[in-house]
Chain A
Amino acid sequence: MGSGRLPLMTIGAEGQAAAPEVQTGTGQYTSGPQVWLWTLESGLRVAYERRAGPGFALDLRIPVGSAHDPVGLQGSAGVLEEWLFKGAGGRSARALQDAFDDLGVRRGGGVGPEATRFGVSGLRADLPGALALLADVLLRPDLPDSELAVLLDLARQDLEGLEDSPPDLLAVQARSVAFDGAAAAPFAGFAHPASGTPEGLAAITPTSLRDFLTRYGGKGSVLGLVADADPDEVHALMAHAFADWRSGQHDLVTARFLPGLRSHLPFEDGEQTHISLSSPGVAPLHPHWLHWQLAITALSGGSASRLFHAVREERGLAYSVSASPVVLGGQGFLSTYAGSTPARAPETLEVLTAELGRLPLGLTDAEFVRAKTGLTASVVFGAESLRARATSLTRDVAVFGRIRSVADLRGQLAALTLNDVNAFLEGYDPAGQATTVTLGPAEVGPADAAAEVNHV
């Protein structure tokens, strides 16, 4: 394995980093692939895009994530997802895994703060087989009591592993500082990792998890599918596979942001100091969503973007620096991250804050054009691979309530002007409301004492 010029992952302070997305106005499919959106009896919505090719990809998003863990039972969503695969539909855990492997399919997914995802991709002829196995896992799991102790212990190991991974530890800490835990009640909310808490794991029982599984169901769930098959057959296949699924529960966990806080978590033996700034953003259904996405692209979308240029190119302060949009509780947040060795960290924080602070002054014309190009390209690239497209179909329906076509998104972007974006930015101040969390060997003080005095 090699070492890349750019870090492969951006580290968000909260939740899952969302790819830049744009919102469409009216959903018109004038060109491009054909899409269908069905609602099945359980409430499950299926978004299907027909596309020529040998493969299929499906992505099922169930709106039950670690934020839905009941208070005192943190870790439920994560452990449940593992438990489901310990045998289903008359197959043992091992026979189930062999059956997936016999199809040559690739599985993906996992537990996020707001949803649990199940992804499968493979050859088109194997879609019915793969779907039947997935339905077994969700509708007919064995849930053997005897396996639970091992799964709880694995979650405990995962949790302890966080202590050895400073950026992950920072992400957890940043969320627990920036969001009011009490606002999420009766849910545990966003303050803990998907692996749970030691107390939560100690309290989870087979009964509590079987209770928790009743949250899973069609209501709020979305299945995105890309394949080359007759839509009637696909519909019949889905209706059959999920015929007996319960409705489940669909709750949005409240994410109440706490602005302007500052916190440091000591990490004595770390090589770097890790810096996170969380700020409010724009909600997916807000008319300024697209304006915000474009501004974030100018801030952190490429090698000429503001953060990359100011922190890395100009000053060489960090290898990894980024700002990403995150959606939690139906709202948007901006999550900014950089990692620098301790001596440089104060300057890095200062530069990050300054860059966020000058966003209200607006973008230049060149920045605007470049960000538009980048966002347009990301829309096309995001729809190119089957798996990426299946995921975006699911996300479209779950977050935006409809399927957004590439052509439509490109049209929306083309219509946006520099004046629109700058008018939005005039009223957007992510620096002023940022909550800053650092983790490293030393607290991050001001870079320049004189400058601090001047502020006073």
Chain B
Amino acid sequence: MSEFPTPTTQVPESRVPETQLHVLPSGLTLLLEPDPAAQTVAAGYFVNTGARDETPAEMGASHFIEHLMFKGSEALSAAQLNERLDDLGGNANAFTSEEATVYHAAALPEYTPALLDTLTHLMRPALRQSDLESERGVILEEIAMYADQPPVRVIDELRADYWGAHPLGQPVLGTVETVSALTRDALARNHRERYGANEVTLAVVGAFDPVAVLAWAEAELQGWPAAAPLPTPPLPAPVHPSTVRVVHDPSLTRVQLALSLPGLPTTHPLREAAVVLADLIGGENGALYWALLDTGLADGADLAHLEYRDTGTFEGGFSCDPDRAQLVLDGFRAVLAGAADLITETAVRRAARKMAVGTLLRAETPHGRLFTLGMEHLAHGHPSTTADLVDRYTRVTADDVREVLRLCPINLVAEFPPTVVALGPIEALK
């Protein structure tokens, strides 16, 4: 028998072991996915809060808190915490999104106790006033850095238009004004209210002893403070104005354009089919590529499906020469209008398989698997195995994708036009 199995459209079963879920008495969730064959161990605190939980005056608070967590606990100075993180091998990092804040690190298996201890110190920040001021400078530099990146600027402008007063329209970093004004009290209150045990999941993946880690967690995480559930004020509806707005900037040489249309939420059963639809239109081998890049009209064009707790969008765009902006936008709309014709059994199977293989191979390292495990848990309230995730893609049919298009008629560009923002040295678009 040949060493190479016969290629089939099937994706093999993942060898990933079972995931254990424990809810500690404090309310904190522990997810353990031991894999004795792994060469490393990865751990992450996934906090179920992000920029959309901020008031407009406190925009940027979630991200500011994320930075301050690295400034030490009552027991450790910032320098000591940084040294401990580096002693693990320097793989610690964190990120803040609209709905989640994640602190993660990976290490060699023999460092597992130190990894968990250090990450847990990080989760008990002192929030010292002196640290706050130097970190404010760092964040203002981060804002300035992104302000020099037109593709980032245009997305911020688009989301402000599309979401209006809905908090998903708020920039994760906040603005120079809100970040300059955030006080220690405000940050400490946000931290207290949003980092309660019920909102926190610790996930551990890779080469570790699950019995020992559970015992450690029961001892060390028992006192994690609870927090009252956050008030859930009625959300303003997304505006989705279907406007075309031009942000004129004569200093730029090219036009960046971004557009958005309604999509499906994370919890929707057709979520994977929505991702496949986005790929047929705006993936590497999608219709936008062949219409706009292969012809040289634009040097970048894409469409993706973005999912949030209770809503979703199809978001995409392009960059092109200023004098081609109208032509390319018209071409983009024409591709959207033809979306129904892209949905064939062959094309769907091809795209779905690509997603399934990608999902399987991403799970190959503990650090890669950690993010999927933690984020899926935050989204659905239960862990999903890699095999489940792969299976959800391989089961997508052309009918599923057609149903997404019926629910989200992004092809009806005349009746439901996208919301568009263009940034660059142009005056007008229609």
Contacts and interface: CB of A to CB of B under 8 A. Distances in A.
Interface of A: 1-6, 52-55, 93-94, 97-98, 100-106, 121-129, 149-151, 153-154, 157-158, 160-161, 163-167, 229-230, 233, 268-272, 297, 301-305, 308-309, 312-320, 339-341, 344, 366, 370, 373-374, 376-378, 380-381, 383-386
A373 B5 CA distance: 40
Interface string B9-41: 001101100000000000000000000010110
Contacts of A105: 357
A154 B296 contact: yes
B6 A304 contact: no
A317 B251 contact: no
Contact of A165 (B92, B94, B149): B149
Contacts of B108: 376-377, 380
Contacts of A376: 89, 108
The 9 closest A-B pairs by CB, nearest first: A377-B89, A316-B137, A2-B97, A302-B90, A150-B296, A316-B134, A302-B86, A104-B357, A319-B142
Contacts of B149: 165
B100 A2 contact: yes
Contacts of A312: 138
Contact of B138 (A103, A269, A319): A319
B314 interface: no
B11 A384 contact: no
19 contacts: A5-B67, A93-B294, A103-B7, A104-B354, A104-B358, A106-B358, A122-B361, A128-B7, A150-B295, A164-B253, A165-B149, A166-B148, A233-B2, A302-B82, A303-B70, A317-B141, A376-B108, A381-B89, A385-B365
A373 B86 contact: yes
Contact of A5 (B66, B172, B284, B290): B66
B139 interface: yes
Contact of A317 (B136, B137, B365): B137
Given A104-B357, A125-B5, A318-B141, A3 B107 contact: no
A373 B87 contact: yes
B134 A271 contact: no
B204 interface: no
Nearest to A158: B299
A122 B11 CA distance: 10
Contacts of B100: 2
Contact of B136 (A93, A98, A304, A316): A316
B89 A378 contact: yes
A384 B96 contact: no
Interface of B: 2-8, 11-12, 14-15, 37, 39-40, 50, 63, 66-67, 70, 78-79, 82-83, 85-98, 100, 102, 106-108, 133-142, 144-145, 147-150, 172-173, 251-254, 284-285, 290, 293-296, 298-299, 319-321, 350-351, 353-354, 356-358, 360-361, 364-365, 367-368
Contacts of B134: 313-316
B360 A374 contact: no
Given A269-B251, A385-B364, A101 B285 contact: yes
Contacts of B14: 54
A341 B351 contact: no
Contacts of A153: 296
A374 B96 CA distance: 25
Contacts of B285: 97-98, 100-101
| Residue from A165, A229, A302 whose CB has the most chain B CB atoms within 10 Å | A302
A304 B86 contact: yes
Given A2-B96, A151-B296, A341-B144, A160 B253 contact: yes
A373 B98 CA distance: 34
Contacts of A52: 37
Given A93-B294, A101-B285, A319-B139, A125 B254 contact: no
Given A98-B350, A124-B5, A161 B364 contact: no
Nearest to B90: A302
| Residue from A4, A312, A376 whose CB has the most chain B CB atoms within 10 Å | A4
Contacts of A384: 39-40, 365
A304 B149 CA distance: 28
Nearest to A150: B296
B82 A309 contact: yes
Contacts of B82: 302-304, 308-309, 313
Contacts of A167: 148
Contacts of A102: 350, 353
Given A101-B351, A380-B39, 12 more contacts: A97-B285, A106-B358, A106-B361, A150-B295, A154-B293, A166-B148, A233-B2, A270-B148, A317-B141, A374-B86, A376-B108, A377-B88
Nearest to B352: A104
Contacts of A320: 141, 145
A241 to B, nearest CB: 13
Contact of B3 (A230, A315, A318): A230
A138 B86 CA distance: 43
| Residue from A52, A102, A129, A158 whose CB has the most chain B CB atoms within 10 Å | A102
Nearest to B255: A164
Contacts of A297: 90
A5 B79 contact: no
A381 B142 contact: no
Contacts of B358: 104, 106
| Residue from A3, A230, A374, A380 whose CB has the most chain B CB atoms within 10 Å | A3
B95 A3 contact: yes
A32 to B, nearest CB: 10
A34 B358 CA distance: 26
Contacts of A316: 133-138, 141
A386 B39 CA distance: 13
A318 B138 contact: yes
Given A55-B360, A101-B350, A377-B89, A125 B7 contact: yes
B94 A4 contact: yes
Given A272-B144, A313-B82, A164 B137 contact: no
Contacts of A55: 360-361, 364
A308 B367 CA distance: 24
Contacts of B145: 271-272, 319-320, 339
A320 B79 CA distance: 18
A316 B37 CA distance: 42
B94 A229 contact: no
Contacts of B147: 271
Contacts of A94: 290
Contacts of A129: 7
A297 B91 CA distance: 13
A150 B66 CA distance: 45
Contacts of A313: 78-79, 82, 134
